[in-house]
A and B are shown apart, each in its own frame.
Chain A
Amino acid sequence: MRILIRNCASAFAALALGAGLALAAPESDPMKALAGLPAGNNPLDPMTALMARSDEGADAESNAELGGLPDGPGAEDTYYQCVACHSTEIIKQQRVTDHRWDELWTWMVEAQGMVEPDDKTKKVILTYLKENFSSER
């Protein structure tokens, strides 16, 4: 069994592998996920405070011509690549790790029949997705 850990202390890896207990690093503190929730939560709907953090109102303007994707390097390539199958709404909902974006790309190509662009365009698109729809930054 192989297990990869991102954003977690190696202690968790040790736990998962049954190698015994170890002290978790500070960034693995589960209370951290509860702290510093984004301003602008709606107290009249307490579920909003529990949602995955999103960087709404971040720097980049959303571009109506590109299905509301935020402007930036790769926005246009991303738009044309993705909307052949699905609308931008599903993209805009995501806040995931870089690793997950790589896996999603592979899944779309292998399981969903997405036509891959050339390597340069692929890199531009994945960089754009990781920059704009991330749980890591």
Chain B
Amino acid sequence: MSQQACNTVATHDGDTPDEARRRFLRTTGLSALGAMLGMTIPFERNLPSGVIPVALAQDTGMDLMSGKTGLVVLGDRPLNAEVPAHLLDDDITPYEYLFVRMNGLVPQTALDQNAEGWSLTIDGEVENPLELTIDDLKSRFENVTRRLVIECGGNGRAYFQPGTSGNQWTVGAVGCPEWTGVRLSDVLKEAGLKKTAVYTGHYSNDVHLSGDEEKVVISRGAPIEKVMEGDSIIAWAMNGEPLSALHGFPLRVIVPGYPASASQKYLTRIWIRDKEHDGAKMTGDSYRIPAYPVAPGTEVPESDMVVLTNMPVKSIVTFPQTGTEVKAGEQVEVRGHAWCGKGDVSAMHVSIDFGQTWQEATLEPAANRFAWQRWRANLTPPQHGYYEVWARATDQDGISQPPQSPVWNPRGYANNIQHRIALVAVV
């Protein structure tokens, strides 16, 4: 049976069945076949003879990476790509330098930029469930435009020791574009929250990696108190343009300060829950941290894991690029951004002597709450040699970024280790 099936794909004379299979899989896309058949192993035995699948898998979005510049692709299915720190120097992150975090595949509506008939459902613990078109959103609620940081919960995961599972983001799964939309709180007020409303649950029309249309890719949410603060929005535009296919066309949530997985893309529904939302990737270890500090490498029972909420205070050095040559004894401007999941950052410091002494940097006010803040410092390497610039932001509670990874957690979330760049001072 197996031999027979293999022979049917042996299209090249002289190939062994194994070679033929590999050739076939290379040229047609093994993953698509797997998805179509709902099968994995032993996959080749189940390939119907003579069938070349026409409808290959839904798009990963990889082709759209041509519109991005300089990103480091961590994975192509699902598509995940981060941005080297020196490309994040803009106050408003342009499209080409915004990281990509896909949990599934890009929906066809987004690829086609076709929002015809799109509606957003608000239901659950509300007095008046709503079905809103995009025009309804634009016309019935006050439109707001805000710079809001989105940062992947796993940004910095690469620095945890021992390693933790997931994409090994370094520093570049963060950005601060300018979003346009309506306040989520205004929409929920119109729907009329019941007293039983506790949490939001976000849904979209993206496609699961398995190709199973019934399967939810990701459905996270946020506590009602958080989204009613008025900073969270339902956005249809980024940097004055309709949302792109990679970033959530036609609608998405932005819950600033929370891991960006709460900022659902391709939004179709917000289900108001009477308990902490338990959608896909809300439970288990996903976007959860231990309820108490654990030693590195500890296995924590699921019942002791709690939802990650506010992202910690953090900063990056965006200029100069790491490894830049500078002149000894001459002043050089070093700059970057700082942000915090709780709101504004209160202070910014830099060190060029491995953290032995710190110099205060100037810190500009945020353009609006949850926008990242520009910081600048003038540094002078006293003599020729190798220097590291360490950057440390402090939040309004006096909590600073650590020089090493903060408390280890099994899935490697919320790592706000100080960013360091190298400068080589020459005579």
A and B associate in one complex: yes
Footprint of B on A, CB under 8 Å? 1-8, 12, 16, 28, 30, 33-34, 43-47, 50-54, 65, 77, 80-81, 83-87, 89-90, 93-97, 99-100, 103-104, 107, 111-115, 117, 121, 135-136
Contacts of A135 in B (CB 8 A): 162-163, 297
A128 to chain B, nearest CB (A): 13
- Nearest-Cβ distance from residue A77 to partner chain B, whole angstroms: 7
Please name the 10 residue pairs, one residue from A and one from B, whose CB atoms are nearest each other, closest first: A84-B34, A44-B323, A95-B163, A52-B163, A89-B75, A135-B162, A12-B295, A87-B77, A84-B40, A46-B420
Q: Hey, which chain A residues are within 8 Å of B397, CB to CB? A: none
Encoded as 1 (CB less than 8 Å from any A CB) or 0, chain B from 142 to 167 comes to 00000000000000001111111101
Cβ distance A126 to chain B, nearest Cβ, rounded Å: 13
Q: Are B31 and A52 in contact (CB under 8 A)?
A: no
Residue of A whose beta carbon sits closest to that of B30: A83
User: Do residues B41 and A81 form an inter-chain contact, with CB atoms below 8 A?
Assistant: yes
A80/B41 in contact, CB under 8 A: yes
Residues of chain A within 8 A (CB-CB) of B298 are 3-6, 8, 12, 16
The A/B interface has a contact count, at CB < 8 Å, of 176
Chain B residue nearest to A43 (CB atoms) is: B422
Cβ–Cβ contact A114 & B41, under 8 A? no
> What 1/0 mask marks residues of chain B from 63 to 82 whose CB sits below 8 Å from any chain A CB?
00000000001111110100
Chain B residues near A6 (CB, 8 Å)? 297-299
B210 within 8 A of A: yes
Provide the bound-state CA to CA distance between A26 and B162, in Å: 16
Interchain CB contact under 8 A, B209 and A86? yes
Pick the contact of A96: B26, B162, B301 (CB < 8 A).
Answer: B162
Within 8 A of A (CB), among B371-427: 386, 388, 404-405, 410, 417, 419-422, 424
B300 in contact (CB, < 8 A): yes
Also in contact, A4 and B158, with CB within 8 A (given A46-B421, A96-B163, A115-B39):
no
Question: Which residues of chain B have a CB within 8 Å of any CB of chain A?
Answer: 22, 26, 30-31, 33-35, 38-44, 73-78, 80, 158-165, 167-168, 170-171, 208-210, 212, 215, 280, 284-285, 292, 294-301, 303-304, 322-323, 386, 388, 404-405, 410, 417, 419-422, 424
A79 to B298, CA, bound (A): 29
Contact between A52 and B162, CB atoms less than 8 A apart: yes
On whether the beta carbons of B420 and A111 are closer than 8 Å, the reply is no
* Contact assessment for A45 and B421 in the assembled complex, using a CB-CB cutoff below 8 Å: yes
Inter-subunit contact A87/B31 (CB<8 Å): yes
In the complex, A136→B299 CA distance in Å?
14
Chain B residues with Cβ below 8 Å from A30 are 296
Q: List 21 A-B contacts (CB under 8 A).
A: A1-B303, A3-B300, A5-B295, A7-B162, A8-B296, A45-B422, A46-B322, A47-B322, A50-B420, A51-B158, A52-B162, A83-B77, A87-B76, A90-B167, A93-B74, A93-B75, A93-B167, A115-B38, A115-B40, A117-B41, A136-B162
Q: How far is the CA of A136 from the CA of B296 in the complex (A)?
A: 12
B404 contacts across to A, CB distance below 8 A: 34, 50
Q: Which residue of the partner chain B has the closest CB to A66? A: B22
Min Cβ gap B62→A in Å is 10
| Given contacts A65-B22, A113-B208, A52 and B159 within 8 Å (CB-CB) | yes
**Which one, A16, A80, A112, contacts B209 given CB within 8 A?**
A112
Is A43's CB under 8 angstroms from B386's CB? Answer: yes
Which of A87, A111, A114 meets B284, CB within 8 Å? A111
Q: Determine the chain B residues whose CB is within 8 A of the CB of A3 once the complex forms.
A: 294, 298-301, 304
Chain A residue contacts of B292, Cβ below 8 A: 16
In the complex, what distance in Å separates the CA atom of A6 from the CA atom of B162?
A: 11
Establish whether residues A53 and B161, one from each chain, have CB atoms under 8 Å apart when the complex forms. yes
B423 — nearest CB in chain A belongs to which residue? A44
Q: Are the CB atoms of A50 and B417 closer together than 8 Å?
A: yes
Q: Which residues of A contact B168 (CB under 8 A)?
A: 51-52, 93
CB distance from A118 to the nearest CB of B (A): 8
Nearest residue (CB) in B for A88 is: B75
A115→B323 CA distance, assembly (Å) = 47
Determine the residue in chain A with the shortest Cβ distance to B421: A46
How long is the Cα–Cα vector from A81 to B210 in the complex, in angstroms? Answer: 12
Known: A2-B301, A5-B298, A50-B417. A114 touches B40 (CB 8 A): yes
Cα of A16 to Cα of B294 in the assembled complex, Å: 7
Q: Which of A43, A54, A80 contacts B40 (CB 8 A)?
A: A80
Taking a contact as CB atoms under 8 Å apart, the answer to whether B417 and A114 are in contact is: no
* Residue in A28, A84, A90 whose beta carbon sits within 8 Å of that of B43 in the complex: A84
A47-B170 contact given A87-B75, A113-B208, CB 8 Å threshold:
yes
Q: Shortest CB–CB separation between residue A110 and chain B, in angstroms?
A: 9
Are B210 and A114 in contact, with the CB atoms below 8 A? yes
- How far in angstroms is the closest Cβ of chain B from A112? 7
Contact B162 A86 (CB under 8 A): no
